[in-house]
Amino acid sequence: MPDVAYDRAAAARPLDWVGMRRVALPLCVSDGDGRPQRVPAWADIGVDLASAETRGIHMSRLYLLLQERLVAGPLTASLLRTLLRDCIDSQSGLATTAHLGLRWEQLLERRALASDNAGWKSYPVAIDASLSPAGAEIVLAFGVEYSSTCPASAALSRRANAERFETDFAGDDAPSKVDVREWLSSGRGLAATPHAQRSRADVRVTLRDDVDALPLLELVDAIEAALGTPVQTAVKREDEQAFARANADNLMFCEDAARRVAAVLSTSPRVARFDATVSHFESLHAHDAVARVAGTATG
């Protein structure tokens, strides 16, 4: 059968990236307990076309390698490195580099804060993997949603509560502890509430060369613990009260959240470099408060 890919290229020149975008496949990843889990995923796979005179690459070979390796899984850094090497080799000398992008939603089970319940949250995950004569680089990216309560608004709310207390207990007689407790528990005891909003940390980490298992769960757990207020799954009243306490104990500007995320990533033994952006989708403003932090890890 004719194979025009071998034709001599018109306007011959090398190309930086040739391949396929949005290849659908059932990606085999490891779930939170290390068991293989198949998830719908989309892959972008490509190589450079280093041979200026050759018209086309062998696309089917890249496609078949994706189906052969990523469906069997589970996805690890060594599987990605081997796949990229084989993508380059499949082109029989036409290519020197390969790039693979993967995107999927990862379900992770999360326990309630106080009750004996649990539920599942979906996390957006992506992989950007490349192999060139300079070596391999694997970037793991994911998003973590949390609640942020504004520290400035909290201070102003406490002041409003104190002023209302003075108004309601304006007489000379000192109120009893019971009076104060009842007032605090009543609607009058909350003169103002600080604004809080759903927020998201978008994290990208370049993995160290000695990492094989993808540290998604480890990093999600560490970041959610550092922020203190991850959005919840199953919520009973005791969970909601615990969440309200966690927000009071973890008042955060976007700058505070960015520093907490950086403190985790900069000390992780799995991370070589990181780049994180936190976005607070403000309930006070029609715009978002955003902070970005990047650096190398020393862990």
Ligand X SMILES: Nc1nc2c(ncn2[C@@H]2O[C@H](COP(=O)(O)OP(=O)(O)OP(=O)(O)O)[C@@H](O)[C@H]2O)c(=O)[nH]1
Q: Does the footprint of ligand X cover residue 72 (CB under 6 A)?
A: no
Specify the residue, 57 or 251, whose C-beta has the smaller distance to ligand X.
Answer: 57
Minimum Å gap between C-beta 4 and ligand X is 7
Specify the residue, 42 or 63, whose C-beta has the smaller distance to ligand X.
Answer: 63
Q: Does the footprint of ligand X cover residue 58 (CB under 6 A)?
A: yes
Q: Does the footprint of ligand X cover residue 52 (CB under 6 A)?
A: no
Minimum Å gap between C-beta 13 and ligand X is 15
Q: Does the footprint of ligand X cover residue 12 (CB under 6 A)?
A: no
Q: Quick one: which segment of 55-63, 165-173, 235-243, 273-281 binds ligand X (CB under 6 A)?
A: 55-63
Q: Does the footprint of ligand X cover residue 164 (CB under 6 A)?
A: no
3-state secondary structure the chain: CCCHHHCECCCCCCEEEEEEEEEEEEEEEECCCCCEEEEEEEEEEEEEECCCCECCCCHHHHHHHHHHHHCCCCCEHHHHHHHHHHHHHHCCCCCCCEEEEEEEEEEEEEECCCCCCEEEEEEEEEEEEEEECCEEEEEEEEEEEEEEECHHHHHHHHHHHHHHHHHHCCCCCCCCHHHHHHHHHCHHHCCCCCCEEEEEEEEEEEECCCCCECCHHHHHHHHHHHHCCECCCCCCHHHHHHHHHHHHHCECCHHHHHHHHHHHHCCCCCEEEEEEEEEECCCCCCCCEEEEEEEECCC
Q: Does the footprint of ligand X cover residue 56 (CB under 6 A)?
A: yes
Minimum Å gap between C-beta 40 and ligand X is 24
Number of residues engaging ligand X in binding (CB under 6 A): 8
Minimum Å gap between C-beta 44 and ligand X is 15
Q: Does the footprint of ligand X cover residue 261 (CB under 6 A)?
A: no
Q: Does the footprint of ligand X cover residue 73 (CB under 6 A)?
A: no
Q: Does the footprint of ligand X cover residue 152 (CB under 6 A)?
A: no
Q: Does the footprint of ligand X cover residue 3 (CB under 6 A)?
A: yes
Q: Does the footprint of ligand X cover residue 5 (CB under 6 A)?
A: yes
Q: Does the footprint of ligand X cover residue 20 (CB under 6 A)?
A: no
- Distance (Å, rounded) from C-alpha 81 to C-alpha 146? 33
- Distance (Å, rounded) from C-alpha 110 to C-alpha 45? 33
Q: Does the footprint of ligand X cover residue 60 (CB under 6 A)?
A: yes
CA 215-255-282 angle, 5° bins: 100
Specify the residue, 61 or 208, whose C-beta has the smaller distance to ligand X.
Answer: 61
Q: Quick one: which segment of 58-66, 130-138, 217-225, 275-283 binds ligand X (CB under 6 A)?
A: 58-66
- Distance (Å, rounded) from C-alpha 112 to C-alpha 223? 17
Q: Quick one: which segment of 34-42, 57-65, 171-179, 267-275 binds ligand X (CB under 6 A)?
A: 57-65
Residues forming the site for ligand X (CB under 6 A)? 3, 5, 56-61
